[in-house]
Structure 1
């Protein structure tokens, strides 16, 4: 359950860092399917409504 900004940030980081932990990319924003690109100020494949932490 997401009940605070801190928990939301934790969940986003977990999702964004999965490809890094698996060794697919060096940085979360390098994974082309991740919203991490949007949060890094880059253009992602999909438009998102970012969570502002």
Structure 2
């Protein structure tokens, strides 16, 4: 499984469980950091996939 698929799987768990409508809305998720907003923690490393 690729890194992108793993990250999406983890971020979508609260959505599929019915806790939130969007992954970014879950307070304890790093999904908000991936949507170019600021999450709860500082210094979160966001993995980006680049086409070279």
TM range (shorter): 0.7 to 0.9
Corresponding residue to 2:6 among 8, 11, 16: 11
Count of residues in correspondence between the two structures: 48
| SS of structure 2 residue aligned to 1:19 | helix
Give me the CA root mean square deviation.
1.1
Structure with the bigger percentage of helix: 1
Q: Which stretches of structure 1, 4 residues or more, deviate above 4 A after TM superposition?
A: none
TM-score (norm 2): 0.85
- List gaps (5 residues or longer) in structure 1: none
What are structure 2's unaligned runs of at least 5 residues? none
